[in-house]
């Protein structure tokens, strides 16, 4: 293997340090035996044990996951439908307006989105809880889904749908049996994106959550305001581990598929020769 | 033994399978199909031929049901199909891109249409196996489309579109993605399959050789209109216009004014100071009328001496020689500057060729070799 130049080694080290040093420190201190976050007093898993006992945190985690699953699923359905209409609907009245407006939440400051949703929920008399957070998260994450799905639909060979119609499918059957399986990877990554966004969100959730339901980011944020506790470090480490496992699995699956596709193509070329 | 010639278009009692009746298709201001009337008969292998943008693909998409009709009507077996959606038509289409479903195996691709008809499993199995056998794909049933070669994909697309035994099969540039050698083999395969299944095929192509090879009749199109419909031989030998003569194969066009000299015989003044050209035709021209003589290069003889027996003989100079192996095309410049192409078969070895660049030569042809056209 070629030796890297000093310049490359330095820039790589700096880059990684910027990205990962804070997280590494957080992970290390989550195993700190001391109650004081900044003083190292030996290795311990004590805070993980205490975390499991802490019902407020566990409740918040459960709410967060429920909200993330529901809102990302709803956002995926709505976002895919919107993307399909925008890419396939042809020219209809208000298309430009609609396609511009669907992307507006991408650039809208979250505070404004949160505040307007709060006003809406109060206006229609909806009690703030899991339902309102789900609705709010769906609102802002569906545009991300529709961006991901429509970029896939643009490159989708339209004659595949026509072939399905030609072979006797109704419009819905053509979508269900041909379009959806082919764009599935984009739909799934849209879902994952929406899921992550919902998991992270603090601002919008703090506007739309009520006393009956609090999400984990809100819980962590309010706990940190009273001082960083080692429990929070443990919780954050668990979240980092979950995300890391997810990302690594996804990239391994993608890589394996790419290798298999390449092998298939080579086999086909051999068969042709 | 008498052999009946397949020519239902000459039989006035024959009912057409497809009838286009004054069909017009507009896309906004643009007229894609202009008041078109055409009959296509059962078991025909019909080719729509023309340059890109001539409306041939639009015609095919109207037959499949993907485009609506602006005016007129299209009948299939005597029934108006203008408002029948594509999934309710006994018409199947083979797409230019093949449009194979990438997530399904070859077997499932072929079975796709049959499953939509809610056929029983044994029926589907039997039909798919039959189709795989017809297209020689038995070994590839379990592969995915990206695991087979381009030629095999083309055959899967054909098998899938034939599986439902449609009354009419539409083929949109079916061989466009194949290389030349494979394309020629596949043309004969298509003809065999068309004959053995007895299905009516309508093929869209811009390749005149392909249309001539496979089709029972060819329609030459331009700007949304059909210029001529006839058998390949008729189109080649008796084109009805300069456009058709020029589009199909290679041709020399000599512009002239006609003077009748006898029954069906005309003297053509093509340039001042040169003897007129003699041509025979069934078309009537008045004295002084503009006429275009279309002559195929292979109908022109080239020689170093003036031939005694030819109706027309002109002297010129060899400008260029295109050697194609089996044939050579000579570009001969006439005194007026016009270049005429003459083609000869290379029956001798090239080393013994007696005509070369800059040589003065005679080109000659008979009175019936060319076609005299009005426009």
The answer to whether B97 contacts A167, with C-beta atoms less than 8 Å apart, is: no
Residue B148: its chain A contacts at CB < 8 A? 268, 271
Report the DSSP pairing between strands B312-323 and B327-333: antiparallel
The answer to whether B148 contacts A168, with C-beta atoms less than 8 Å apart, is: no
Q: Which residue of B has its CA nearest to A272?
A: B149
Q: How far apart, in whole angstroms, are the C-alpha atoms of residue B63 and residue B47?
A: 14
User: Which class for B357: exposed (0-12), middle (13-18), buried (19 or more C-beta within 10 A)?
Assistant: exposed
The answer to whether A164 contacts B101, with C-beta atoms less than 8 Å apart, is: yes
Domain boundaries defined on chain A = 22-53+232-273, 59-227
Q: How far apart, in whole angstroms, are the C-alpha atoms of residue B73 and residue B55?
A: 16
B 302-361: CB under 8 A from A: none
The answer to whether A162 contacts B151, with C-beta atoms less than 8 Å apart, is: no
The answer to whether A264 contacts B144, with C-beta atoms less than 8 Å apart, is: yes
Q: How far apart, in whole angstroms, are the C-alpha atoms of residue B316 and residue B252?
A: 15
The answer to whether B101 contacts A268, with C-beta atoms less than 8 Å apart, is: no
The answer to whether A268 contacts B151, with C-beta atoms less than 8 Å apart, is: no
Residues B86, A169: contact at Cβ < 8 Å? no
* Best residue in B68, B87, B92, B119 for a mutation probing chain A (most A CBs within 10 Å): B87
Q: How far apart, in whole angstroms, are the C-alpha atoms of residue B359 and residue B356?
A: 6
The answer to whether A178 contacts B101, with C-beta atoms less than 8 Å apart, is: yes
The pLDDT of residue A136 is above 90: yes
Q: How far does B237 lie from chain A, in Å, by closest CA? A: 38
User: Which class for B110: exposed (0-12), middle (13-18), buried (19 or more C-beta within 10 A)?
Assistant: buried
Query: Taking the C-alpha atoms of A143, A147, A152 and A155 in order, what is their torsion angle to the nearest 10 degrees?
Result: 130
Residue B173: its chain A contacts at CB < 8 A? none
The answer to whether B146 contacts A268, with C-beta atoms less than 8 Å apart, is: yes
The DSSP result for chain A, as a single string, is: -PPPPHHHHHHHHHHHHHHHHHHHHHHHHHTBSSSSTTS---B--HHHHHHHH-HHHHHHHHHHHHHHHHHHHHHHHHHHHHHHHHHHS-S-TTHHHHHHHHTHHHHS-HHHHHHHHHHHHHHTTPPPSHHHHHHHHHHHHHHHHHHHHHHHHHTS-HHHHHHHHHTT--HHHHIIIIIHHHHHHHHHHHHHHHHHHHHH--HHHHHH-BTTB--HHHHHHHHHHT---HHHHHHHHHHHHHHHHHHHHHHHHHHHHHHHHHHHHHHHHHHH-
**Cα atoms in the 13 Å half-sphere on the side-chain side of B231:** 10
Q: How far apart, in whole angstroms, are the C-alpha atoms of residue B267 and residue A148?
A: 72
User: Residue B363: helix, strand or coil by DSSP?
Assistant: strand
The answer to whether A268 contacts B102, with C-beta atoms less than 8 Å apart, is: no
Structure tokens belonging to residue B109 = 């691709």
Count CB neighbours of B42 within 10 A. 16
Q: What are phi and psi of B125, to 5 degrees?
A: -55, -45
Q: What is the ipTM of this complex?
A: 0.83
Q: Which of B64, B150, B151 sits opposite A166 (nearest CB)?
A: B64
What is B8-246's CATH number? 3.40.50.300
The answer to whether B97 contacts A159, with C-beta atoms less than 8 Å apart, is: yes
* Per-residue confidence (pLDDT) for residue A272, from 0 to 100: 54
Residue tagged 């041509």 (tokens): B279
Q: Which residue of B has its CA nearest to A163?
A: B99
Q: How far apart, in whole angstroms, are the C-alpha atoms of residue B220 and residue B231?
A: 11
Say how many CB pairs under 8 Å bridge A and B: 73
Which overall architecture, per CATH, does domain B250-373 show?
Answer: Beta Barrel (2.40)
The answer to whether B113 contacts A167, with C-beta atoms less than 8 Å apart, is: yes
Structure tokens belonging to residue B51 = 């340059």
Structure tokens belonging to residue B295 = 């002559």
pLDDT in tens, chain B (375 residues): 456 778 888 888 888 999 999 999 999 889 999 999 999 999 999 999 999 889 999 999 999 999 999 999 999 999 999 889 999 999 999 999 999 999 999 999 999 999 999 889 999 999 999 999 999 999 999 999 988 988 899 999 999 999 999 999 999 999 887 888 888 888 998 999 999 899 999 999 988 889 999 999 999 999 999 999 999 999 999 999 999 999 988 999 999 999 888 888 898 988 887 888 989 888 888 888 899 999 999 999 998 888 888 889 999 999 999 888 888 899 999 888 889 999 988 887 765 667 888 888 999 999 889 899 988
Q: Which of B66, B87, B95 sits opposite A170 (nearest CB)?
A: B87
Q: How far does A254 lie from chain B, in Å, by closest CA? A: 16
Residue B85: its chain A contacts at CB < 8 A? 165
User: Residue B244: helix, strand or coil by DSSP?
Assistant: helix
* Per-residue confidence (pLDDT) for residue B228, from 0 to 100: 95
Q: How far apart, in whole angstroms, are the C-alpha atoms of residue B54 and residue B32?
A: 7
Q: What is the pLDDT of residues A85-135, one digit of tens each?
A: 888 877 777 788 887 888 787 888 889 999 999 999 999 988 888 999 999
Q: Which residue of B has its CA nearest to A173?
A: B116
Angle of helix A95-102 versus helix A55-88 axis, rounded to 10:
160
Residue A169: its chain B contacts at CB < 8 A? 87, 116
Q: What is the pLDDT of residues A230-258, one digit of tens each?
A: 888 888 888 888 878 878 887 887 788 77
Q: How far apart, in whole angstroms, are the C-alpha atoms of residue B324 and residue A156?
A: 43
Is the pTM higher than 0.90? no
Q: Which of B65, B99, B113 sits opposite A157 (nearest CB)?
A: B99
User: Residue B86: helix, strand or coil by DSSP?
Assistant: helix
Q: How far apart, in whole angstroms, are the C-alpha atoms of residue B118 and residue A176?
A: 17
The answer to whether B99 contacts A162, with C-beta atoms less than 8 Å apart, is: yes
The pLDDT of residue A55 is above 90: no
Scored b (16 or more CB within 10 A) or e, B251-260 reads: bbebebbbbe
Q: How far apart, in whole angstroms, are the C-alpha atoms of residue A220 and residue A200?
A: 11
The answer to whether A182 contacts B92, with C-beta atoms less than 8 Å apart, is: no
Q: Which residue of B has its CA nearest to A165?
A: B87
CATH class of the structural domain A59-227: mainly alpha
B113 interfacial to chain A (CB closer than 8 Å): yes
Residues B57, B36: contact at Cβ < 8 Å? no
Q: How far apart, in whole angstroms, are the C-alpha atoms of residue A187 and residue A146?
A: 9
Structure tokens belonging to residue A68 = 């993330």
């Amino acid at each position: 293997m070629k030796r890297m130049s000093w310049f490359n080694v330095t820039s790589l080290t700096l880059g990684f340090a910027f990205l990962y040093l804070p997280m590494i420190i957080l992970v290390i201190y989550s195993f700190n035996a001391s109650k004081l976050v900044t003083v190292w007093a030996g290795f311990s898993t004590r805070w993980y044990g205490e975390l499991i006992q802490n019902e407020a945190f566990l409740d918040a985690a459960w709410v967060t996951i429920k909200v993330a699953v529901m809102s990302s699923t709803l956002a995926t359905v709505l976002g895919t439908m919107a993307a399909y209409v925008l890419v396939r609907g042809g020219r209809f009245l208000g298309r430009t307006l609609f396609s511009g407006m669907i992307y507006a939440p991408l650039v809208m400051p979250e505070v404004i989105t949160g505040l307007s949703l709060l006003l809406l929920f109060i206006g229609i008399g909806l009690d703030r809880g899991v339902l309102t957070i789900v609705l709010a998260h769906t609102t802002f994450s569906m545009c991300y889904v529709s961006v991901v799905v429509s970029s896939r639909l643009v490159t989708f060979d339209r004659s595949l749908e026509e072939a399905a119609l030609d072979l006797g499918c109704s419009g819905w059957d053509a979508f269900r049996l041909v379009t959806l399986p082919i764009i599935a990877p984009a739909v799934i990554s849209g879902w994952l994106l929406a899921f992550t966004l919902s998991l992270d969100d603090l601002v919008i959730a703090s506007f739309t959550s009520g006393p009956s339901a609090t999400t984990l980011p809100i819980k962590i944020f309010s706990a940190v305001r009273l001082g960083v506790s080692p429990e929070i470090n443990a919780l954050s480490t668990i979240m980092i581990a979950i995300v890391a496992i997810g990302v690594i699995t996804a990239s391994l699956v993608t890589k394996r598929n790419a290798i298999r596709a390449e092998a298939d193509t080579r086999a086909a070329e051999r068969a042709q020769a | 033994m008498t052999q009946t010639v397949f020519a239902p278009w000459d039989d006035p009692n024959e009912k057409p399978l497809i009838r286009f009746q004054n069909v017009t298709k507009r896309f906004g201001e643009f007229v894609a199909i202009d008041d078109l009337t055409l009959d296509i008969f059962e078991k025909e292998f019909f080719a729509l031929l023309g340059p890109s943008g001539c409306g041939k693909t639009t015609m095919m998409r109207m037959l499949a049901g993907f485009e609506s009709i602006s005016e007129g009507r299209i009948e299939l077996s005597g029934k108006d199909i203008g408002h029948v959606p594509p999934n309710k038509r006994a018409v199947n289409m083979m797409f230019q891109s093949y449009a194979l479903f990438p997530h399904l195996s070859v077997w499932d691709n072929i079975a796709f249409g049959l499953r939509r008809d809610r056929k029983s499993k044994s029926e589907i199995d039997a039909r798919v196996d039959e189709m795989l056998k017809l297209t020689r794909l038995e070994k590839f049933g379990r592969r995915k489309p990206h695991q087979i070669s381009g030629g095999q994909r083309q055959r899967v697309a054909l098998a899938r579109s034939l599986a439902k035994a449609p009354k009419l099969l539409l083929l949109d540039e079916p061989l466009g993605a194949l290389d030349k050698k494979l394309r020629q083999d596949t043309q004969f395969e298509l003809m065999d399959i068309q004959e053995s299944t007895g299905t009516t095929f309508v093929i869209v192509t811009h390749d005149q050789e392909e249309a001539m090879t496979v089709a029972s009749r060819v329609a030459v199109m331009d700007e949304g209109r059909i210029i001529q419909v006839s058998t390949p031989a008729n189109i080649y030998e008796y084109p009805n216009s300069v456009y058709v003569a020029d589009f199909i194969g290679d041709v020399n066009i000599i512009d002239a004014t006609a003077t009748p000299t006898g029954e069906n015989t005309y003297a053509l003044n093509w340039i001042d100071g040169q003897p007129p050209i003699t041509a025979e035709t069934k078309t009537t021209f008045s004295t002084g009328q503009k006429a275009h003589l279309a002559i195929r290069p292979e109908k022109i003889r080239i020689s170093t001496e003036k031939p005694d027996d030819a109706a027309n003989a002109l002297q010129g100079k060899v400008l260029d020689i295109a050697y194609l192996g089996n044939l050579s095309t000579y570009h001969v410049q006439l005194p007026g500057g016009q270049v005429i192409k003459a083609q000869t078969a290379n029956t001798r070895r090239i080393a013994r060729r007696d005509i070369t660049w800059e040589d003065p030569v005679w080109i000659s042809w008979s009175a019936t070799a060319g076609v005299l056209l009005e426009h």
